Structure 1
Amino acid sequence: MSELFLENINIINQRWPQIAKEITLEAVSEFDAVLVTGKNQTISVNGIQLSSRHNRMAEAQLYIDQLDTNCNTVTLYGVGMGDVPSLLIDINNLESIDIAPLNLSIFALLLTYTDQREWLSDSRVNLIQPEQYQLAENYLAIAADLVLADEQNSVIRDFLVMENNREFINSIHLANDREIEEIHKLNFEALNRDPSADHIKLHVKTNTKASIIASGPTLETHYEALKKQRNLPPQERPIMIAVDTALIALTSQGITPDIVVTLDKNITLQHFPAKLPSDTSLVYFPNSNPDVINNWKGKKFNAYSNRPIFDECNKNSPKIRLYTNGSVIHPTVDLAVQLGLQEISLYGCDFSYPHNKTHAYWQDGVLGPSINLKKNHWVLNGHNQRVPTDLNFRAYLRYLEIYILAKPEIKFYQLSKLGAKIAGTHYRD
């Protein structure tokens, strides 16, 4: 241990003994860490600089300028090179400064080679392990630390990244709203003709279990189990609800779900089997593809998402409102809950690329993502191992977790440990 580390850790041990204990257990030798010199010096960890090498303090000030000038508390996610906390303690009106390292190994590395004693000694500073599913009211997040976050902080990392991208995502929604209005006009007659999806309750009867089937790669390992499930007497088997892109995978194996949910205009007839099942109900939205709706052979029901754009539509023609947040899996799960189903098993809900594939059945790249493109993002699977994914899949996962954690009265199960671990669920063989 370096002399600097001992001096830094001595302060931490006096103030936060449990965190000090955890830091001393971290291995810093596993990193590819080098000193990088420009006008200033910084540390590069696995190719990611912890700060600017040209003007560290100017960069730190850019972070601080994001704060509301009237706030008296702040949480800093990540530490960088320690420049931001060193400037924060100079702000007199700050009464509380919470510092949340997102990777204790990197923090230990920083303590080994740099002097952080000034801000560590400030009475307003508190080192914390952050809440994973709740962002602080006033916060700053160091970009490098988001990239280098460890497994323990992968959830809060995802929420911070999602929040950083919120303005861009909202701008896309504004453009999509105009497209939705145009497709809504094409689907106007069907929306008025077909009943709201809550009428499916008449068909659910006394069943309390549901199998929710997405098109993740692990679905392929459950075909035989789903066949057996489908062959049970109707009063014994779970209601089988599939997302649109999973239908062709299921029918290729002789499995016919009770309900299919489709949300996106970009999911066309080419994404469905040539022979559409006549005994499967379709749940669609105003922005679903008109050709899919018009050519469906079975019963058809509709719904609105919970987005404000549909508030006026709902006043004029009330429909069930389903939770949506980027993925068709969200309204599919919410539909099961609103139908009164109390036990929900998730098949193929992987939010990642196990088996070196993006989807069950589909050829690589047909549905957009390709396993051949470099995957810089990851989530933890049921074995607490990192599995590759894309940024949007991470967001879909976290929004589903928020939903599930808000429904403690519902039992949620996952059927595979190879896909992303979903908080609030239990594993079932």
Structure 2
Amino acid sequence: MSEIFQRNCAVLERWPQILQRLLAEAPESLPAELVEGNGSTLSVSGVQLTSRHDRISEAQLQADSLPANSPEVHVYGTGLGDVQRVLLTSRSLQRLHVHILNGALFALVLQLLEQDDWLNDPRVVLTYAGDQTEIKLPFFALPAELVLADDFNARIRDRLVSEVHVGFSNQPFAPDTPENLQLLEQARTLLQRDTDVGVLFGTQPGREVFIIATGPSLQQHLPRLRAIWDAADRPLFMCVDTALVSLRKHGIEPDIVVSIDHRITPRYLPPDNTAHIALVYLPRLDEKLLSAWRGPRYVGYSTSPLYAQIRQQIPRAQLFVGGSVIHPAIDLAVKMGACRVTLFGADFAFPGERTHTGWQDGDLGPPANLSRHWVLDGRGNKVKTQLNFRGYLIELERYIAQHPHVRFYNTSRDGALIAGAEFDPDWTAP
């Protein structure tokens, strides 16, 4: 054990459990090398931990991105200690939470570089990021470790990435873009005519609701769903827009279809023969599709600033939207009074290299072979996904955590593991 490592470990005795975990890590497994410029840094798997020219200036820039004079700050990733040192120069800082994103990487740094200075500061709290279920604000996430995060800390990494990208993800919903202004103006006539979705709230107290999405795992359940649909005393069937085609091919007419995306066309949501199907939608949906829908139509808003002005002029109830149509469908079920929500095809991933049930690979988005991201499935294995799907999963998990009075069930282990949703043993294969 090197002298540097011994000094670092002596300080880490402040957190004996963390120290034992770090001693059990395998830093020798990391392909690390020294990278030099005007200064130097470490590179791991081709990813530089910091600038190789001016680490302190970079750390100062990163620290300056946090709210000024914050008494409590969270740093995700340990890096080479530079950001921690800069932050600890602030007299207003009372607590610095440092969350390890890669245990082996931090163990390697502890062997090579002195970290005892910032670790010894009484304001520092050290944890593994994966020991928490949610991220904390305000935070700075070290960019290199968002790439290098290990599997144990991946769920928190996913939440950090989603939070960092939120501004970019919301750009299409800016209220002042010409396209959005035009779509909302076109929606005005039907918005005034159609029924407020709020009239559905509280109408199904204590009922079970099936929420049917379009993930690949839906395919295996369609025959049994058809048999249940025929039953007299059955759950309420609610589906997302792109699931309607598959359901109708199997003789299932859902009670309610939910749609929110202005790119949905009659190809994906055919309005013919829909007299007995209710449509719940958000403004901006295709006007011709809406006009052709034969069944009852219900309209609401999300909390997006996109609807701020028109919401004042034409009040309607709100549904939760976290990026995917499955969110308002689930929120509607809960607001209708569901005590149990069972999810079908809610995969948020591409099990079996397939993207959706009932559609060709790539019909509803990028094909599976272009995926560069992953989540853990219900068996603990990595399954391909795309970045926005991970964000949708995160928002669903947050929603479930906020509604402990409702039981949520998943019906497949093939897709993403959904925290807070139990596997229904009556539907789920081992």
Same fold (TM over 0.5): yes
Counterpart position of 2:387: 391
Question: Are the structure 2 counterparts of residues 127 and 185 from structure 1 closer, same or farther at C-alpha, using a change threshold of 3 Å?
Answer: same
Counterpart in the other structure of 1:376: 372
Query: Post-superposition shift, 1:172?
Result: 3.2
Aligned residues: 424
Deviates more, 1:414-423 or 1:250-259: 250-259
2:290 to 268, 289, 293: 293
Task: Sort the Cα spacing of 1:74 and 1:184 in 2 relative to 1 into closer, same or farther, 3 A.
Answer: closer
Structure 1 residue 197 displacement after superposition: 2.4
Letter in 2 for 1:81: L
Unaligned 5+ residue runs, structure 1? none
Give me the identity figure in percent. 39
Does 1:187 find its partner at 2:187?
Answer: yes
Contact 1:132 1:153 in 2 (8 A): no
1:255 is matched with which residue? 252
Cα distance change of structure 1 residues 205 and 24 upon mapping to structure 2, 3 Å threshold: closer
| Equivalent pair of 2:271/2:292 in contact (CA under 8 Å) | no
Name the CA distance, whole Å, in 1 between partners of 2:271 and 2:312: 37
Structure 2: distance between partners of 1:183 and 1:92 = 51
Q: Alpha-carbon deviations, 1:298-344, whole Å to 9, x = none?
A: 22222222224434434443322111121111111111111111100
Residues 392-424 of structure 1: per-residue CA shift (max 9 Å, x gap):
111111111111111000110011112111122
Give 2:144's aligned residue: 144
Q: 1:42 to 1:411 in 2, by over 3 A?
A: same
Aligned-partner Cα distance in 1 for 2:309–2:217: 40
Cα drift, residue 273 of structure 1: 4.5
User: What's the offset of the Cα at 1:182?
Assistant: 1.8
Corresponding position of 1:365: 362
Q: CA deviation at 1:60?
A: 1.4
The superposition leaves residues 319-372 of structure 1 with CA deviations (integer Å, 9 ceiling, x where unpaired) of 221111211111111111111111000111111111111211211111122112
Any idea what SS the aligned residue of 1:79 has?
coil
- SS of 2:211's equivalent in the other structure is strand
Structure 1 residue 387: Cα displacement: 1.9
Aligned partners of 1:381, 1:268: CA distance in 2, in Å? 31
Q: For residues 273-288 of structure 1, what are the structure 2 equivalents within 5 Å? A: 273=270, 275-288=272-285
1:67–1:139: 8 Å Cα contact kept in structure 2?
yes
Whether 2:155 is the aligned partner of 1:158: answer no
Amino acid of the structure 2 residue aligned with 1:381: D
What one-letter code is carried by the residue in structure 2 that aligns with 1:333?
A: I
Q: Look up the match of 1:405.
A: 401
Q: Contact (CA 8 Å) 1:103, 1:148: kept in 2 or not?
A: yes
For residues 255 and 3 of structure 1, the distance between their equivalents in structure 2, rounded to whole angstroms, comes to: 70
CA distance in 1, matches of 2:345, 2:399: 18
Do 1:180 and 1:286's aligned partners in 2 also have CA atoms closer than 8 Å? Answer: no
Inter-partner Cα distance in structure 2 for 1:273 and 1:30: 54
- 1:96 is matched with 95
Moved more, 388-397 or 163-172: 163-172
Q: Does 1:352 align with 2:345?
A: no
Q: Find out whether 1:271 has 2:271 as its counterpart.
A: no
Give a deviation string over 1:89-139, Cα, whole Å, max 9, x none.
334443322211112122112222222122222222221234745443432
* 1:230/1:237 contact within 8 Å kept: yes
Letter of the 2:401 counterpart: L
Provide the secondary structure at the position in 2 that maps to 1:68.
coil
1:9-42 CA distances to partner (integer Å, 9 max, x unpaired)?
2321x21001011112222243333333333332
Query: How far does the alpha carbon of each residue in 1:48-81 deviate from its partner, in whole angstroms, 9 at most, with x for none?
Result: 2211222222221211222334223322111112
Residue by residue over 1:166-197, the C-alpha shift from the partner in whole angstroms, topping out at 9 and shown as x without a partner, is: 33334432167643332233232322222122
Describe the SS at the equivalent of 2:394: helix
Question: Per the alignment, do residues 123 and 388 of structure 1 end up closer, same or farther by CA in structure 2, a change over 3 Å counting?
Answer: same
Residues 244 and 257 of structure 2 are in contact (CA less than 8 Å); yes or no, is this contact kept in structure 1? yes
1:207–1:239 Cα contact (<8 Å) kept: no
1:317 paired to 2:314? yes
Say which SS state the counterpart of residue 330 (structure 1) adopts: helix
Task: Find the aligned partners of 2:173 and 2:362 in 1 and give their Cα distance.
Answer: 24
Q: Contact 1:64–1:140 (CA<8 Å) still a contact in 2?
A: yes
Structure 2 equivalent of residue 27 of structure 1: 26
Q: State whether structure 2 residue 299 is matched by structure 1 residue 302.
A: yes
Instruction: Name the aligned partner's letter for residue 387 of structure 1.
Output: V
Q: TM-score w.r.t. structure 2 length?
A: 0.91
| Aligned match of 2:174 | 174
Deviation larger for 163-172 or 51-60: 163-172
TM-score (norm 1): 0.91
Task: Decide which moves more: 282-291 or 302-311.
Answer: 302-311
The structural deviation recorded for 1:267 is: 0.4
**Structure 2 CA distance for partners of 1:341 and 1:73, relative to 1, 3 Å:** closer
Task: Give me the whole-angstrom Cα distance separating, in 2, the residues matched to 1:274 and 1:339.
Answer: 24
Structure 1 distance, partners of 2:200, 2:93, is 55
Contact (CA 8 Å) 1:23, 1:104: kept in 2 or not? Answer: yes
Deviates more, 1:130-139 or 1:384-393: 130-139
Partner-residue secondary structure (3-state), 1:75: strand
- Alpha-carbon distance between aligned partners in 1 of 2:332 and 2:284, rounded to the nearest angstrom: 17
| More deviation, 130-139/348-357 | 130-139
Which range is displaced more, 185-194 or 19-28? 185-194
Q: Would you say the 8 A contact 1:57–1:83 is kept in 2?
A: yes
- The one-letter code matched in structure 2 to 1:389 is T
Change (3 A) 1:307 1:92: closer
CA apart distance, 1:201? 6.0
